[in-house]
Chains A and B, each alone.
Chain A
Amino acid sequence: MEAGLAGGYPDAVTIKERIDVGRIEVRAVARMSAPFEEILDLYGLQEGDKAVVRLALQAADVAATVTDDRLLYIVLHRCGYQALFLPDLIEQAVADNACDATIGQQLLLAVRPRLHRGFVEHSLRRLEGVI
C-alpha cells in the first residue's frame, strides 16, 4: 500500500482510507512450521504470497481467499482452503444477492481487459444463464 500511495495510485488511497476507518483490518501472521515453510519455498512463493497462505491457514474467520494468481490458487486449494478467482467472487456476490446479475455482468466487463479472457467469459456466460 505504501508503494501505491507513493506512486499516487487511487486504489492505494482508497485502501488506506478503509484501513484508517477500520473497514479493512491489517493482521500480522506468524510463520508456520519449518517443514511447511520449506514447502512454500519449494513452490517458489515470495514473502507476500506466503503471508496470504499463512493468513488463510491461521485465521479461523477467513471464508475464502480471492486471488487471480494461479500458483497461489493451487497452493491454497492443495492446503484444503477455498480460493476464488475474482470472477468467481462476483458470481458468488450475485448468488448471495449482494448485487443483481446486471451489476455482476458490469463488474465482469470492467475487469475483462486485465484478466484472462476465458475466466471472465466463463463467468459472464454463467450469469447470462447460457451455461
Chain B
Amino acid sequence: MAVSAYTVLDDRIAQYVNRVKAQRHATEAAVVQELVEAGYAETVRQLHTRYQRGELSFRAVAAELGLSVRELYDLFEKKGLPT
C-alpha cells in the first residue's frame, strides 16, 4: 500500500534535489522518492548486518521494519541477502 507524505527538506537536501532535478529533467517527487528508497535500502542493509552479527534476532529485524517474518524473508531474498 503506497502512501503520500508531505515533508520539509533540509536546505542541503533541497539543493541536492534541485541539482538532480535539473540534471535529469526529473520531477522533484521522483528525486525525493529515490532518496527515500536509498535511505530505506541502507536501513535494511544495516539491520541485516546487525542480524548477521547476532545483535538482533530475525523477528526483531522484521518488527523494526514493520514487516512480518515472511515478508522479511522475501525482502532479503529479493535483495540477495543471506539469512
Contacts and interface: CB of A to CB of B under 8 A. Distances in A.
Interface residues of B, number: 20
A86 to B, nearest CB: 10
B76 to A, nearest CB: 8
B59 A48 contact: yes
Nearest to A11: B70
Contacts of B63: 46
B57 A72 contact: yes
B54 interface: yes
A71 B57 contact: yes
Nearest to A74: B54
Contacts, number: 55
A29 B51 CA distance: 26
Interface string B65-77: 0001110010011
Contact of A46 (B54, B59, B82): B59
17 contacts: A3-B68, A3-B70, A4-B70, A7-B70, A45-B57, A46-B57, A46-B62, A48-B59, A48-B69, A49-B59, A68-B83, A70-B51, A71-B51, A74-B54, A114-B76, A114-B77, A116-B82
Interface in A46-74: 46-49, 68-74
Contact of B83 (A71, A72, A114): A114
A71 B58 CA distance: 8
Contact of A116 (B52, B59, B70): B52
